[in-house]
Amino acid sequence: MSTPVGPVGPVGPVGPESPESPGGPGGGPVTVAITRRVPDGHEAEMVSWLSAGITLAERFPGFLGAGWVRPEVTSPDWHMLYRFADAAALETWEHSTQRQWWRSSGVGLGVVEARVERRTGIEGWFDEPTSTSVTSADSAAPTSPPRWKQATTIWTAFFPLSLLAGWLLTLLAPDLPLVPRVLVTTLVLTPVMTYVALPRITKALAWWLAGDPPPWRRPRAAG
DSSP 129-165: PSEEEEEETTS--PPPPPHHHHHHHHHHHHHHHHHHH
Identify the architecture of domain 3-136 in CATH: 2-Layer Sandwich (3.30)
Contact 133, 22 (CB under 8 A): yes
Q: How far, in Å, CA of 86 to CA of 119, rounded?
A: 11
99 Cβ partners below 8 Å, 6+ apart? Answer: 11, 56, 57, 93
For residue range 160-219, list pLDDT tens digits in order: 999 999 999 899 988 989 898 889 988 988 888 888 888 888 888 888 887 778 877 766
126 Cβ partners below 8 Å, 6+ apart? Answer: none
Question: In the chain, what are the domain boundaries?
Answer: 3-136, 147-217
Contact 194, 188 (CB under 8 A): no
Q: How far, in Å, CA of 73 to CA of 11, rounded?
A: 21
Return the bridge partners of 133, or none: 118
Q: How far, in Å, CA of 56 to CA of 59, rounded?
A: 6
Answer whether 0.95 is exceeded by the pTM: no
According to the model, what pLDDT value does residue 143 have?
Answer: 55
Q: With DSSP H G I counted as helix, E B as strand and the rest as coil, what are the percentages for the chain, rounded to 5?
A: 45, 20, 40
According to the model, what pLDDT value does residue 37 have?
Answer: 82
According to the model, what pLDDT value does residue 27 have?
Answer: 63
According to the model, what pLDDT value does residue 29 have?
Answer: 85
According to the model, what pLDDT value does residue 129 have?
Answer: 47
* DSSP secondary structure of 8-35: -----SSSPPPPPPSSPTTSS-EEEEEE
20 Cβ partners below 8 Å, 6+ apart? Answer: 133
Q: What is the dihedral of CA 115, 120, 124, 127, to 10 degrees?
A: -80
According to the model, what pLDDT value does residue 159 have?
Answer: 92
Task: Enumerate residue ranges in the chain where pLDDT < 50.
Answer: 1-26, 122-129, 132, 134-142, 221-223
